[in-house]
């Protein structure tokens, strides 16, 4: 008889894990509390490791198939102050691919049977499974079942609004202010993705556009013009959380992947990428090992320290971007770095020196 696994959650991590295990001959059952996969959502930046992992689990990571927006190497992105002063023009060393979350989920779910409307409440439901994968997100009940109530997600004391608007804009980048930031990225040939974040201890009631206007409406023209095109019903709003540091992503025959294992602040745009790599790694580790336990130990070793460093780095990046005291010094330092790394115009040696 073949191997079988139960996966809780049909998000990016659960579906990536399902694909990886299936490719290695496992039969998988994916249990999802929602009625269907989401059909709306914003863009996710995909780093090269995630693109490679997608290839490895049989998702054709091409623009044609999944609808990537693509910032070519060298295109660059900017960093501004709210008044519109450019602090940095990042040279854009590597290609960056952006994919819409619903398109990515649909591609990952192809050929995977998902049991929707199935809310997993108790672990007993899973007793017979050879391998259980907790892919149930930031507020993972699986994590709490494995390690106790102390291991709940922690608020980062910040909230985000985000969405997509019609039309392309002239320049992409982030604007940093004390306690707030606003980001603009492409979302395809005729759409633009935006995200806005402020420090706050609680989420806000709708309507949301007035809050966005209130916090960011007086910022420079690029932000102001974009805000002018936002539609109220296309705004997502939520608090930002991170997972507690775990001493293991594994207990017995159960493993955590994605946000359940390492939910992180969004400031480095890595959560979904790492969720895909988790799934690919878990599938390979379990398939190549002599037992499920041995495979899970390899998975934990390969993934835990690395993703926990990213949790820390993402939190620090948010603190740096939204710094209060010292933001003037930070801006001066960023500007100095920009001047140092920018290629200087070459002097024509045939011209006389003055």
Ligand X SMILES: Cc1cc2nc3c(=O)[nH]c(=O)nc-3n(C[C@H](O)[C@H](O)[C@H](O)COP(=O)(O)OP(=O)(O)OC[C@H]3O[C@@H](n4cnc5c(N)ncnc54)[C@H](O)[C@@H]3O)c2cc1C
Q: How far apart are CA 53 and CA 66, in angstroms?
A: 15
- Within 10 angstroms of residue 212's Cβ, the number of other Cβ atoms is 25
**Residues within window 117-176 making contact with ligand X, judged by CB under 6 A:** 119-120, 135-138, 141, 160, 162
User: Cα separations (Å) of 71 from 41, 75, 89, 206?
Assistant: 19, 6, 14, 33
Taking contact as CB under 6 A, which single stretch among the options 269-277, 284-292, 300-308, 342-350 is the one that binds ligand X? Answer: 269-277
Q: How far apart are CA 78 and CA 76, in angstroms?
A: 7
Taking contact as CB under 6 A, which single stretch among the options 79-87, 253-261, 288-296, 304-312 is the one that binds ligand X? Answer: 253-261
Nearest partner of 137 among 288, 33, 22, judged by Cα? 33
Q: How far apart are CA 234 and CA 14, in angstroms?
A: 26
Task: By CB under 6 A, tell whether 279 contacts ligand X.
Answer: no
- Output the smallest distance, CB 132 to ligand X, in A: 12
Q: Pick from 104, 108, 227, 273 the residue near ligand X by CB under 6 A.
A: 273
Q: Sheet containing 43-46: give its strands across.
A: 43-46, 96-100, 69-71
Nearest partner of 279 among 18, 48, 29, judged by Cα? 18
Q: How far apart are CA 78 and CA 88, in angstroms?
A: 6
Q: Which is nearer to ligand X, 174 or 259 (CB)?
A: 259
Q: Pick from 275, 286, 296, 311 the residue near ligand X by CB under 6 A.
A: 275
Task: By CB under 6 A, tell whether 33 contacts ligand X.
Answer: yes
Residue 94, phi then psi, degrees to nearest 5: -125, 160
Task: By CB under 6 A, tell whether 219 contacts ligand X.
Answer: no
Q: Pick from 5, 6, 7, 13 the residue near ligand X by CB under 6 A.
A: 13
Q: Which is nearer to ligand X, 36 or 333 (CB)?
A: 36
- Output the smallest distance, CB 262 to ligand X, in A: 9
Task: By CB under 6 A, tell whether 34 contacts ligand X.
Answer: yes
Task: By CB under 6 A, tell whether 10 contacts ligand X.
Answer: yes
SS3 state of residue 28: strand
Q: Which is nearer to ligand X, 32 or 300 (CB)?
A: 32
Q: Which is nearer to ligand X, 49 or 339 (CB)?
A: 49
Q: How far apart are CA 57 and CA 213, in angstroms?
A: 42
**Residues within window 188-207 making contact with ligand X, judged by CB under 6 A:** 195
- Output the smallest distance, CB 236 to ligand X, in A: 8
Could you list the residues that contact ligand X (CB under 6 A)?
8-14, 31-34, 44-45, 119-120, 135-138, 141, 160, 162, 195, 258-260, 266, 269-273, 275
């Amino acid at each position: 008889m073949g191997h079988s696994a139960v996966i809780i959650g049909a998000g990016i991590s659960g579906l990536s894990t399902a694909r990886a295990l299936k490719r290695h001959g496992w039969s998988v059952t994916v249990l999802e509390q929602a009625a269907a996969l989401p059909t709306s959502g914003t863009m996710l930046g995909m780093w090269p490791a995630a693109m490679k992992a997608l290839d490895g689990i049989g998702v054709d990571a091409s623009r044609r198939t999944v609808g990537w927006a693509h910032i070519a190497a060298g295109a660059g992105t900017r960093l501004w102050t709210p008044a519109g002063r450019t602090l940095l023009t990042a040279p854009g060393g590597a290609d960056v691919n952006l994919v819409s979350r619903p398109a990515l989920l649909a591609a990952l779910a192809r050929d995977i049977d998902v049991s929707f409307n199935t809310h997993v409440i108790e672990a007993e439901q899973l007793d017979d499974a050879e391998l259980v994968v907790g892919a149930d997100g930031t507020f993972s009940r699986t994590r709490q079942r494995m390690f106790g109530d102390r291991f709940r997600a922690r608020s980062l004391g910040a909230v985000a609004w985000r969405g997509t608007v019609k039309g392309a804009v002239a320049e992409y980048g982030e604007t940093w202010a004390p306690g707030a930031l606003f980001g603009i990225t492409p979302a395809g040939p005729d759409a633009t993705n935006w995200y806005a974040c402020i420090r706050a201890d609680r989420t806000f009631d709708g309507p949301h556009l007035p809050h966005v206007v209130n916090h960011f409406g007086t910022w420079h023209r690029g932000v102001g013009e974009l805000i002018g095109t936002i539609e109220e019903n296309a705004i997502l709003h939520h608090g930002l959380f991170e997972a507690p540091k775990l001493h293991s992503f594994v207990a017995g025959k159960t493993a955590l992947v994605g946000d359940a294992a390492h939910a992180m602040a969004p400031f480095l745009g890595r959560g979904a990428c790492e969720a895909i790599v988790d799934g690919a790694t878990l599938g390979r580790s379990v398939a190549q090992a002599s037992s499920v336990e041995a495979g899970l130990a390899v998975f934990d070793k390969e993934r835990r320290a690395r993703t926990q460093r990213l949790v820390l780095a993402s939190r620090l990046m948010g603190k740096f971007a939204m710094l209060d005291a010292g933001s003037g010094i930070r801006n001066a330092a960023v500007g100095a770095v920009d001047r140092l790394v920018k290629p200087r115009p070459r002097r024509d040696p045939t011209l006389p020196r003055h």
